Amino acid sequence: MEAPHTEVIAVSNVYSRIMYFQNAGDIEVGHSHVYDHGTLVSFGSVKYEVLDGHDGVAVAEKTFAAPSFIFVEKNKYHRITALENGTVCACIH
């Protein structure tokens, strides 16, 4: 398991963090934000988990396949795991 390669793009006050998951099973580790935002799954599929704390136990999970948009609630620790090789997602703030 590896972390995805990331690229950050900012245009007109919109921040996008693009995540390129090379292999199924690669993980964007648990983290949280102080604001709601969205994650666009543009290629492949992911398991999205809400955690009980930083890198904690999953209390909810859902699978998303491209094209789809994940609503990420503020102050909720979450983790994204690629389910397919070559999965691409973008967190949009």
Per-residue pLDDT of the chain (93 residues; tens, 9 = 90+): 899 999 999 999 899 999 999 999 999 988 888 999 999 999 999 999 999 987 689 999 999 999 999 999 999 999 999 999 999 999 998
C-alpha distances out from residue 88 to 34, 45, 54, Å: 24, 8, 23
Count each helix (H run) and each strand (E run) in the chain, helices first: 0, 9
Question: pTM of the prediction?
Answer: 0.92
Q: Give the span between the Cα atoms of 42 and 24, in whole angstroms.
A: 15
